[in-house]
Amino acid sequence: MNTKSHVGMEQKVCPVCGQAFDTGAILLDKRLRNSLERHTVTGWDLCPEHAALWNKGYIALVECDPEKSTFTSGTIKPEDAYRTGRIAHIRKAAATRIFNMPIDGPVAFVEPGVIDQLEQLTGEAP
């Protein structure tokens, strides 16, 4: 049985938590070919929870294993990051001071140990 259709519901994947979520958009194949799954992932975007934190001025620090991740010209793409499952949110102004560089986007991939160091600075333990 063919599960594809010419209509599908758009989903995005959150670069912070890695979960797919519905965007509310409907996709239509203009040629009316059965090319779309019922839920079709079209790219990356923040899920509602992490978008709300970004709008409040927080940046997500996502811990990644550098040995299992793939780097391109010294940077990492969300699809190439091997996430360890640890996430921390800090204010954008604090991130700029701590890392001594501007962070423009809502997500920064960090090496193992960075979140532990931040927890030690704040006195919060997991």
| Type of residue at 37 | E
Instruction: Give strand pairing partners of 21.
Output: 12
Q: What is the pTM of this model?
A: 0.81
Domains of the chain, by residue range, sit at 7-47, 57-122
Q: Estimate to the nearest angstrom the gap between the alpha carbon of 125 and the chain centroid.
A: 24
Structure tokens at 72: 């391109």
Residue 5 CA to residue 38 CA, distance in Å, equals 7
Show pLDDT as tens, one digit a residue, over the chain (126 residues). Answer: 568 888 889 999 999 999 999 999 998 888 888 888 888 899 999 999 999 999 999 999 999 998 999 988 888 889 999 999 999 999 998 888 888 888 889 999 999 999 998 888 877 655
